[in-house]
Amino acid sequence: MKQRKIPLRMCINCREMKPKKEMQRLVKAADGSVNIDPTGKMPGRGAYVCKDKECVTTAKKQKRIERAFGVSGCDYLYEALFEIVVESSDKNRAEESSDKNRAEEGGDKSTSVETGEKIMTRETNDKSANG
């Protein structure tokens, strides 16, 4: 099988190309408002920032969002971005520690457990929808 291409995006601050999933998308809507796009599917002009504390702080200092979209007064966005970055870094640390614990227990069984949980939730949702 062909290997799928991973979509890459450039950070407006550090100018590095990274996978789209590792970036946070910002959108300028048609009405001129700038918002954080958690799904990556909102309509409008998009720009990406790394999910890195240093990158967000330097973007704030150099007003990268304002320059990218040609707007002013985006301080609320930097605060929201910083919260998202802190949350994602906390999640990554928790996942890394749980992965280490699984490896110490004698194998990585996370895939089968997670897949089983997903199947069970789908089945219960289907049963509740049908009757």
- Partners of 8 in beta bridges: 19
Q: Flag whether 104 is in a domain.
A: no
CA 47/CA 95 separation, integer angstroms: 28
CA 127/CA 105 separation, integer angstroms: 35
pLDDT of residue 101: 72
- pLDDT surpassing 80 at residue 127: no
Name the DSSP letter for residue 31.
T
- Hey, what are 71's tokens? 């707007």
- pLDDT surpassing 80 at residue 2: yes
Length of the chain: 131
Name the DSSP letter for residue 11.
B
pLDDT tens digit sequence for 27-71? 999 999 999 999 999 999 999 999 999 999 999 999 999 999 999
Q: Flag whether 56 is in a domain.
A: yes
Q: Using DSSP, state whether 8 is helix, strand or coil.
A: strand
pLDDT tens digit sequence for 57-116? 999 999 999 999 999 988 999 999 999 998 888 877 777 777 777 776 665 444 434 333
Q: Flag whether 42 is in a domain.
A: yes
pLDDT of residue 79: 94
CA 54/CA 41 separation, integer angstroms: 26
Name the DSSP letter for residue 82.
H
Domain count along the chain: 1
User: What integer is the mean pLDDT of 10-21?
Assistant: 96
Q: Flag whether 123 is in a domain.
A: no
Q: What is the CATH number of the domain that holds 37?
A: 3.30.1230.10
With 0-12 CB in 10 A as exposed, 13-18 as middle and 19+ as buried, what is 31? exposed
Q: Flag whether 79 is in a domain.
A: yes
pLDDT of residue 51: 92
What's the alpha-carbon Rg for the chain, to the nearest Å?
19
pLDDT of residue 108: 46
Q: Flag whether 51 is in a domain.
A: yes
pLDDT of residue 105: 67
- pLDDT surpassing 60 at residue 131: no
pLDDT of residue 8: 97
Please give the span between the terminal C-alpha atoms of the chain, in angstroms, as a whole number: 40
Q: Flag whether 109 is in a domain.
A: no
Query: Which range marks the domain in which residue 18 is found?
Result: 8-90
Q: Flag whether 34 is in a domain.
A: yes
